[in-house]
């Protein structure tokens, strides 16, 4: 499979498939494709996996698109202004990502639910107690709110993020929360009570404009029109 990411505000990823190759995605992600692409809807595994995906904010079902009779082309589009990031999932190196970030992947990649081990990180970290886990082998594509920024953390190296800004991290990374210090900082700083701390080793991807941040910025204007 060859791919090309195109566009800026609402990007798409165009995938060129050999005959017999299959991509899987959720309903509504396909934007255009060649006529020889065959779609089949499937639960994509056991009932437990399907329920786990539902808990992580994704659909219980996948759409499988297969190139039949020759090479095929299919594109998948983002649902929110931002970026699309290609992730090379390899055996033994799982990737943890936020809810609703999954866009599409090759058939060798498995999508399952991931529970934060630390309750506080899940509740106050902004990424949620339930996240997604990508395992197996193949290319996967994630939706990013705004622009994507990569960080490669060494063992023991940390970075502090505002809540909701983490898109994905290698499974070798650890995520925790830390409280903002100082009553004045909490009351007047406008950054909330908690930040997210991610510690390496491993790669992380950060987004510049989380959907929740957009909603909060627009809320006063929407309310004033009511």
225 found inside a domain: no
226 found inside a domain: no
Number of domains in the chain: 1
217 found inside a domain: no
119 found inside a domain: yes
Cα–Cα distance between 151 and 40 in angstroms, integer?
37
Instruction: Report the predicted TM-score, pTM, of the whole model to 2 decimal places.
Output: 0.81
Specify the pLDDT at position 44: 58
Specify the pLDDT at position 112: 87
220 found inside a domain: no
Cis peptide before 79 (omega within 30 of 0): no
Specify the pLDDT at position 185: 44
Backbone angles phi, psi at 163, to 5 degrees: -60, 140
Cα–Cα distance between 77 and 26 in angstroms, integer?
11
93 found inside a domain: yes
The per-residue b/e assignment along 102-124, b for 16 or more CB within 10 angstroms, e otherwise, is bbbbbbebbbebbebeeeebbeb
Specify the pLDDT at position 190: 46
Tens place of pLDDT for every residue, the chain, 226 residues?
A: 999 999 988 899 999 999 999 999 988 899 999 999 999 998 755 555 555 555 555 567 889 999 999 999 999 998 888 999 999 999 988 999 988 889 999 999 998 888 766 544 444 444 555 789 999 999 999 999 999 999 999 999 999 998 889 999 999 999 888 876 545 444 444 455 678 899 999 999 999 988 766 666 666 667 655 5
Specify the pLDDT at position 131: 86
Cα–Cα distance between 49 and 204 in angstroms, integer?
25
Q: Which domain holds residue 162?
A: 2-210
174 found inside a domain: yes
Q: What is the CATH number of the domain that holds 46?
A: 3.60.160.10
Specify the pLDDT at position 184: 43
- 8 A C-beta contact, residue 170 and residue 93: yes
Specify the pLDDT at position 138: 96
139 found inside a domain: yes
Neighbouring CB atoms inside 10 A of 220's CB total 8
* C-alpha distances out from residue 105 to 66, 101, 117, 141, Å: 12, 12, 26, 6
Specify the pLDDT at position 186: 44
């Amino acid at each position: 499979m060859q791919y090309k990411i195109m566009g800026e505000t609402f990007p798409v990823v165009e995938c060129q498939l050999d005959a017999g190759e299959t991509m899987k995605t959720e309903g509504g992600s396909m934007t255009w494709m060649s006529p020889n692409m065959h779609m089949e809807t499937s639960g994509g595994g056991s009932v437990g996996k399907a329920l786990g995906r539902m808990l992580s904010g994704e659909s219980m079902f996948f759409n499988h698109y297969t190139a039949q009779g020759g090479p095929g082309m299919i594109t998948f589009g983002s649902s929110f202004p931002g970026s699309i990031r290609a992730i090379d999932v390899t055996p033994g190196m799982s990737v943890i990502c936020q809810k609703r970030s999954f866009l599409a992947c090759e058939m060798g990649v498995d999508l399952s639910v991931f529970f934060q081990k630390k309750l506080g990180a899940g509740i106050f970290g902004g990424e949620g107690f339930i996240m997604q886990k990508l395992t197996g082998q193949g290319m996967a594509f994630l939706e990013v709110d705004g622009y994507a920024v990569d960080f490669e953390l060494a063992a023991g190296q940390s970075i502090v993020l505002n809540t909701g800004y983490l898109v994905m991290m290698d499974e070798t990374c650890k995520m925790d929360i830390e409280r903002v210090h100082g009553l004045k900082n909490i009351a007047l700083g406008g950054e909330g009570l908690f930040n997210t701390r991610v510690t390496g080793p491993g790669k992380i991807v950060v987004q510049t404009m989380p959907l929740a941040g957009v909603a909060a910025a627009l809320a006063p204007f929407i309310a004033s029109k009511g």
